[in-house]
Amino acid sequence: MNDVLEQLDQSVRIPVIAGMYAQGDLIVIPLSMLDSVEPRPDAAWRQVPPDGIEVLRGPAGGNPHVLVAEPATCRWTGEVVDPTGLALGIFTATSLAYLMHPEHGATASTPGTYVIRRQREHSNSRTRLVAD
């Protein structure tokens, strides 16, 4: 995952978002906005390390979306109850947490609890996952 961090320009300004935002085929939504999504009662949580947790990799081994945070400031679980089946996981941060991607750059989430979901697109009578 360090390769993701190395590809980002060191001088780039990272937007800090207090709310919902999209990054390629993912959307980050405050948990409080989703009544039907929650961590499983027996969910195992793990600390997000400084080199990150790969949340999703593009099709055919494409570029990864990586969640990154300072030590002991963010935890993650992929064990989620979501009736839509779109949630990849939930993270809780006490400081800024960063969703990073080599092509989309990085976006910081303010402290809080968020759901990371796949995005869907609708065309005519068809719905499909966004492929990044």
Could you tell me the pLDDT band of residue 102, with boundaries at 50, 70 and 90? confident
Two tokens, residue 108: 């910081």
Structure confidence at residue 25 (pLDDT)? 86
The more confident residue out of 101 and 44 is 44
* Percent of the chain scoring above 90 in pLDDT: 64
Position 121 scores a pLDDT of: 58
**How many angstroms separate the Cα of 34 from the Cα of each of 28, 119, 126?**
11, 15, 24
CA angle centred on 64, ends 116 and 106, rounded to 5°: 70
- pLDDT for res 19: 96
Structure confidence at residue 8 as a pLDDT band (50, 70, 90) = low
